[in-house]
Chains A and B, each alone.
Chain A
Amino acid sequence: MAPGIRYNYSAWFRDYKRVAEYARVHYPLAYVPGSEHLTLKRKIWEFEEGDFVITVPPGAFRCPPAPYERAAMIAYVFKKNNVNGRVIILDPKGDIAPKGPGFRAAYEQLYLGIVEYVPNAVIKEVDPVNKIIKTTAGDFKFVDANLSPPHQAGSLVWMADLIAKDKDGKPTRWADQDPITFQAKADPHVFLLEDVISGVPYPKSGHMANSQGKIVAKIIASRIKGKEYKPTLPDNVCYSMVNGDPQEAIVVSATYELKDGKIEPRTRVINERSKALAEATYEWAKALYRDMFA
């Protein structure tokens, strides 16, 4: 089961569904493929002036570098089109992660005065109609925005009652599964993958999903054959584009090992942007598409 994520607008708007729908339609997140991405693209290219706000979701969310990469690319478009605009990143965390130094270098060296990074900005209130966001780091008015409420596991996991519970018995946002075999703790015949999982130090990324999918396929195939299979741990590679002309990117990779029953990450990063890494970005994506769609 790998249904991806859904957006938790109730964290901002409680039961006010009309306001949530307004926010979703007018300021789409573009984290789930479809028309949201086209809307966001149009907004960026048609932006004329003012502040464009990006909110970083709290806690775990799909594609950790996405808000920062988007900020860089939007800033590139503003710079290219001589737009009198700013990109403001409202981040509940204290610093950019992953690839913090790489993104900060790009903002300072390529987009000075265009990108403003606001750390420790926990959202208190979002008013999509009057275009104001209130945070613990101040209030921010915007002309347009990429508003991202907290992410949570996709609806299918909730319907199947496979969401993990916290110590008070309340549902968390993510599924409850074995960290090595990905089997749902409530039902060993169900395997839960990627964005929906919890309790493991894996980023919620497409590369990870591809890697985990192969491990689970082997587990299932072994079970069908009545053979034992010792699962391996997945890996992750993540390229982020930070400049549009010339195209330049940065990269982080992680492999994992089991130490004393705990999954430990081994992370490597290149924060120095380069054209070579930008080319590698396309090959990284194309290779995954080849694997999935060939």
Chain B
Amino acid sequence: MDRRDFLKACSTVAIASMLDPSVFSNMLSAQEGMFKAYKKALLVKEDGSPLREEDLKPHNAYIFFYPYASTPCYLIDLGEEVEPVDVKLKDGRTYRWQGGVGSKKSIVAYSAICAHQWSYPTKQYSFINYYPPDKPSEITKKSGVIQCCAHLGLYDPKEGGKVVDGPPEVPLASVVIQEEGGKFYAIGILGVDQFNRFFDTYRRELREAYGSTAKARQLVDKCVVVEVSKYVGQVIHC
């Protein structure tokens, strides 16, 4: 490609992106198949109104379900700008994580299904949790991480869910969030998700919770965001 063609391509992309935000999805999907677009889902509060940045307390974890009705995700305002980073997998593949969103670029979202052996937050317990800076883990002494108490897998929410310690083989899948006019939309999943194993492993539990696995697998276009401490009966810290 020569310089003229390159400039033409750049301006084409720039114009296209102004007309249709999903062009970024296409760019993301060009990341070696690491991005999967799902239904665009508006993040809302319990009263149904769109979630706004000021509704999120920094370092307080929130839970929402995306892209399926049963697949939990965490939404966290990390309180400081979080820059995009390259996330490298053990098999050599790399993808570019977008960093934080919001006016301070501090809001991140990740799948809350542990990438090791699929612990996830239920209404009874959550073993995989965010540890804010003022409440480090008693056993690992780490804070500012997402840690799973089952086998002490640690993920860094400032680095695209990268594995910091413990047995997980892949980072936490991240939820790609787009901000439009102060509203937040989940548009897809970036990284290696655990959805297939989640649905295979928890058939019985999902049937009990949702009536059928088909209902558990329904794709959503709206996500109610709730504080984890209000959703989960007992948040287990270790």
Contact = CB atoms under 8 A, between A and B. Distances in A.
Contact of B127 (A235, A255, A280, A294): A280
A290 B165 contact: no
B199 to A, nearest CB: 11
Nearest to A278: B236
Contacts of B152: 235, 237, 253
Interface in B171-213: 197, 200-201
Contacts of A272: 138
Contacts of B116: 287
Nearest to A276: B236
B24 interface: no
| Shortest Cβ-Cβ A-B pairs, 5 listed | A287-B117, A280-B149, A287-B150, A294-B201, A283-B150
Interface string B131-143: 0000000111100
A207 B151 CA distance: 9
Interface in A222-270: 235, 237, 251, 253, 255, 268-270
Contact of B138 (A237, A270, A286, A291): A270
Contacts of A286: 150
Contacts, number: 64
Given A253-B139, A283-B127, A290-B117, A270 B238 contact: yes
> Dominant SS at the B interface?
loop
A229 to B, nearest CB: 10
A276 B150 CA distance: 11
B119 interface: yes
A284 B201 contact: no
B45 interface: no
B234 interface: yes
B151 A251 contact: no
Interface string A170-212: 0000000000000000000000000000000000000100010
Given A237-B150, A276-B149, 11 more contacts: A207-B151, A235-B167, A251-B139, A255-B166, A270-B138, A270-B238, A283-B125, A283-B127, A283-B236, A288-B117, A290-B118
A163 interface: no
Contact of B238 (A207, A277, A294): A277
B105 interface: no
A284 B151 CA distance: 6
A283 B119 contact: yes
User: Chain B interface: which size bin?
Assistant: 20 to 34
B237 interface: yes
Contacts of A287: 114, 116-119, 150-151
A279 interface: yes
A286 B148 CA distance: 13
Contacts of A294: 197, 200-201
Given A237-B152, A288-B117, A270 B236 contact: no
Contact of B237 (A237, A276, A291): A276
- In the complex, which of the residues B150, B200, B201 has the most CB atoms of chain A within 10 Å of its own CB atom? B150
A8 B6 CA distance: 75
B119 A235 contact: no
Contacts of A211: 167
B140 A268 contact: yes
Contact of B165 (A207, A255, A276): A255
Contacts of B141: 268
Contacts of A269: 139
A280 B166 CA distance: 16
Contacts of A253: 139-140, 152
Interface in B101-157: 114, 116-119, 125, 127, 138-141, 149-152
Nearest to A252: B139
Contact of A283 (B140, B149, B201): B149
A275 to B, nearest CB: 8
B160 to A, nearest CB: 20
A291 B167 CA distance: 13
Contact of A279 (B117, B166, B167, B234): B234
B200 to A, nearest CB: 6
Contacts of A237: 150-152
